């Protein structure tokens, strides 16, 4: 081929490639997206115009983020007529088919038009719009890199959510997260169109909300002896030991958080977890226990024992006494103040994992059972839940609880949050009750996201590919009763924001897509590609996340002669696994895993690392052979 022709062909090809932007990586996947030719390039000065006062704060948030990262100086203006070359945020008049949270986004080479029926819809459109810009737009400081083209591809998007309840639960009891950290959490969750922050405000390890009529809940209940290390192995606190770890939100703090969330179209649902998980309350007011004694806020020492068959028992009574009228008087005060602080219509009362062994030994509970004709401990708990439901209703709110509130009979008017899989949700829906699906099989983002030998200690396993299979509406259930879904971030073992972020992302992306996007739009391979693109965005935002999806998984069996057979599994199909048995660190020049491995005689460890295109993408995992032997012997 003629050299000149070759260069010309190559140039045209290259220009063609450059002119065709990469497919946008939007999470959650929009309902409809059509990509055109070319880009809209952000000019250095521009006006973000909106036709409505209501949308002005949304336009300002967009301008602020653009200015922060680019160093541009975008003005925001309320103005009804179209401005040339502007970004337009328009609240329309009954735009069909997109509901109250949907939006339409049209990017051309000359302008950007975002339309919605509400400011909330515009806000979600803004999140999509930011995802069309380069990852550096997520930066909290000005990026002075001249090579960055502040461009977005020409696209037309129509988008709206599948569910109205798109929740994230943050446990601020086991470890306390400051008001600013909660605000940052809200900023991160809205990027993926979550709209519900469920705050787990009370538990055995701390009471985190000021209740003015019961001051000891926070002077005593919000503080515990400090421990660091492997949760569940800590020594018990002593009465004289200083209680230095903890904190709580004043009522002014709560008002500020509720307002901050509202400005970002997020509702906050408070949870007061009773009658179990109540050690902090009992430490503050020991008279609320059926078991007299001195109680201390738990510091991470183990007092609930899980023998492994789904049952559990407590070695300290961490429950409120259902046979003590004072308990209901106190809870009336608590819910009175809580109801006044949170505009959201539901209050969550927990109700989970209540060990009833101490109730069984209580004369007061026996007398209550006789008086109320309660035949077992489930009915005693149901009695308690029904009393709480009445209190909550008297404050003008509806009760929600974990699926244990079904046991012994569900209280009238209560909604159920299904966590032990989907079955509690299915049962509640059959009773025509509203349900939020948060199954631990798919949405518990505090669980292991890779092999336990290579991850910080936690409980059972939930890989990203399993999270992505979350489908909130089970077969045979009326979808209207499923309010939506939620990911739960329990914090027993998460003492820092960095660790919390590591657990939440990217599984929080998988759950976000499962509750926003149409079921038929979900596609694991597409999600993986987009997730990888979002790693760059999370990096730019200095948000932590886990790359464990690249790591090898291990399954073990025995061959016909009883030798171990190790199968390595992958979540990301195109990574290459390299391994060693000789105690050296494998790299891309080591053997490639192609079929189940047998262990060389006397080898102690198998090391595995994942590569793609000559670059290490996963952690190097050291798996003891003794551990694999142990696993192979487990039934």
Indicate which residue of 256, 353, 471, 532 is catalytic.
Answer: 353
Strand order from edge to edge, sheet including 32-41: 32-41, 151-159, 103-107, 112-116, 87-91, 47-50, 75-78
- Residue 223, CA distances (Å) to 205, 218, 556 in order: 8, 8, 45
Nearest approach, Cβ of 402 to ligand ACM (angstroms)?
Answer: 4
Q: Which is nearer to ligand ACM, 306 or 585 (CB)?
A: 306
Give 86 or 406: the residue with its C-beta nearer to ligand ACM: 406
* Residue 241 vs 352, nearer CB to ligand ACM: 352
Can you tell me the distance from the alpha carbon of 338 to that of 75, in angstroms, rounded to the nearest whole number?
40
Tell me whether residue 352 or residue 539 sits nearer to ligand ACM (CB atom): 352
Determine which one of 88, 277, 442, 578 is catalytic: 277
C-alpha–C-alpha distance, residues 173 and 230, integer Å:
17
- Shortest reach from residue 350's CB to ligand ACM, in Å: 7
> Among residues 184, 187, 336, 353, which is the contact residue for ligand ACM, using CB under 6 A?
353
Q: Does 502 bind ligand ACM (CB under 6 A)?
A: no
CB of 454 to ligand ACM, least distance (A): 24
Residue among 336 and 353 whose Cβ is closer to ligand ACM: 353
The number of beta carbons lying within 10 Å of the beta carbon of residue 469 is: 13
**Contact 160/31 with Cβ under 8 angstroms?**
yes
CA distances from 193 to 124, 253, 404, 528 (A): 6, 24, 29, 18
d(CA 370, CA 125): 59
List strand residue ranges (DSSP E) for 463-538, in order. 482-489
Cα(299)–Cα(306) distance, integer angstroms: 18
| Pair of tokens at residue 336 | 């009175």
| Cα separations in angstroms, 125 against 60, 89, 362, 482, 571 | 14, 9, 57, 25, 31
Catalytic residue among 138, 159, 171, 203: 203
Is 208 or 522 the residue whose CB approaches ligand ACM more closely? 208
Nearest distance in Å: CB 200, ligand ACM: 9
Tokens in use for 122? 């515009």
Min dist CB 312 to ligand ACM, Å, is: 10
Q: Which of residues 380-409 bind ligand ACM (CB under 6 A)?
A: 402
Nearer to ligand ACM, 42 or 377 (CB): 377
- Least separation in angstroms between residue 438's CB and ligand ACM is 8
Of 505, 500, 511, residue with least CA distance to 174: 500
Q: What's the chain's length in residues?
A: 635
Residue 352 interacts with ligand ACM (CB under 6 A): yes or no: yes
Strands 346-350 and 398-402: parallel
Q: Which is nearer to ligand ACM, 195 or 418 (CB)?
A: 418
Minimum CB distance to ligand ACM, residue 425 (Å):
13
Site string for ligand ACM, 166-205 (x = CB under 6 A): ----------------------------------------
Q: Identify whether the C-beta of residue 328 lies closer than 8 Å to the C-beta of residue 378.
A: no
Task: List the structure tokens of 151.
Answer: 């461009």
Q: Which residue is nearest to ligand ACM (CB)?
A: 352
Size of the site for ligand ACM (CB under 6 A): 4
| Ranges within 418-437 binding ligand ACM (CB under 6 A) | 419
- Three-state helix/strand/coil letters over 576-593: EEEEECCCCCCCCCCCEC
Shortest gap between Cβ of 533 and ligand ACM (angstroms)?
32
559 among known catalytic residues: no
- Neighbouring-strand partners of residue 461: 448
If you search the block for the tokens 């069984």, which residue do you land on? Answer: 360
The answer to whether 355 contacts ligand ACM (rule: CB under 6 A) is no
Q: Based on the residue annotation, tell me whether 353 is a catalytic residue of this protein.
A: yes
| Cα angle value 23/24/30 (rounded, 5°) | 120
Residues recognised as catalytic: 203, 277, 353
Site residues (vs ligand ACM, CB under 6 A): 352-353, 402, 419
């Amino acid at each position: 081929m003629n050299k000149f022709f070759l260069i010309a062909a190559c140039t045209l090809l290259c220009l063609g490639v450059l002119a065709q932007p990469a497919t946008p990586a939007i999470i959650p996947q929009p309902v409809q997206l059509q990509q055109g030719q070319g880009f809209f390039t952000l000019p250095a000065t521009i006006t973000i115009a909106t036709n409505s006062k209501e949308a002005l704060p949304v336009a300002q948030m967009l301008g602020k983020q653009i200015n922060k990262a680019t160093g541009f100086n975008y003005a925001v203006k309320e103005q009804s007529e179209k401005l040339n070359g502007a970004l337009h945020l328009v609240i329309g008049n009954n735009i069909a088919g997109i509901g109250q949270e949907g939006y339409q986004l049209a990017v051309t080479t000359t302008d950007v038009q975002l339309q919605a029926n509400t400011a909330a819809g515009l806000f979600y459109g803004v999140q999509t719009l930011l995802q069309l810009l380069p990852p550096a737009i997520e930066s909290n400081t000005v990026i002075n890199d001249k090579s960055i083209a502040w461009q977005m591809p020409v696209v037309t998007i129509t988008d709206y959510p599948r569910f109205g309840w798109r929740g994230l639960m943050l446990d601020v009891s086991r470890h306390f997260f400051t008001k600013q950290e909660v605000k940052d959490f809200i900023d991160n969750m809205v990027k993926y169109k979550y709209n519900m922050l469920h705050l787990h405000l009370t538990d055995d390890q701390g009471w985190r909300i000021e209740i003015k009529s019961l001051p000891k809940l926070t002077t005593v209940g919000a503080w515990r002896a400090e421990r660091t290390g492997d949760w569940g192995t800590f020594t018990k606190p002593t009465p004289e030991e200083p209680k230095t770890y903890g904190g709580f939100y004043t009522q002014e703090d709560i008002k500020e958080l509720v307002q901050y969330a509202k400005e970002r179209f997020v509702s906050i649902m408070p949870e007061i977890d009773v009658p179990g998980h109540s050690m902090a309350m009992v430490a503050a007011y020991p008279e609320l226990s059926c078991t007299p004694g001195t109680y201390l806020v738990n510091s991470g020492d183990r007092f609930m024992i899980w023998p492994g068959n789904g049952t559990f028992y407590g070695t300290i009574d961490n429950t409120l006494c259902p046979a003590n009228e004072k308990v209901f008087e106190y809870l009336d005060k608590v819910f009175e103040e809580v109801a006044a602080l949170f505009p959201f219509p539901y209050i969550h009362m927990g109700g989970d994992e209540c060990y009833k062994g101490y109730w069984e030994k209580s004369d007061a509970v026996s007398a209550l059972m006789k008086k109320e004709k309660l035949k077992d401990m489930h009915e005693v708990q149901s009695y308690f839940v029904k009393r709480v439901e009445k209190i909550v209703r008297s404050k003008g709110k509806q009760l929600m609880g974990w699926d244990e509130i079904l046991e012994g009979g569900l209280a009238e008017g209560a909604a159920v949050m299904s966590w032990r899989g989907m079955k509690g949700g299915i049962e509640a829906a059959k009773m025509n009750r509203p349900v939020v699906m948060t199954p631990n099989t798919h949405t518990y983002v505090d669980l292991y996201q890779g092999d336990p030998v290579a991850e910080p200690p936690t409980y059972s396993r939930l890989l990203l590919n399993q999270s992505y299979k979350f489908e909130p509406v089970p077969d045979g259930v009326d979808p209207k009763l499923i309010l939506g879904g939620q990911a739960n971030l329990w914090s027993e073992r998460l003492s820092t924001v960095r660790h919390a972020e590591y657990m939440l992302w990217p599984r929080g992306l998988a759950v976000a897509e499962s509750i926003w996007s149409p079921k038929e739009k979900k596609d694991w391979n597409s999600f993986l590609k987009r997730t990888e693109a979002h790693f760059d965005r999370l990096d730019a935002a200095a948000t932590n996340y886990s790359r464990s999806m690249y790591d090898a998984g291990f399954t073990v069996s025995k061959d016909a002669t009883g030798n171990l057979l190790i199968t390595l599994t992958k979540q990301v199909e195109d990574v290459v696994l390299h391994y060693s048995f000789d105690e050296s660190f494998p790299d891309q020049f080591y053997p490639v895993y192609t079929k189940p491995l047998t262990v060389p005689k006397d080898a102690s460890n198998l090391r595995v690392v994942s590569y793609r295109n000559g670059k290490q993408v996963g952690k190097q995992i050291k798996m003891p052979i003794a551990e694999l032997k142990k696993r192979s012997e487990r039934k």
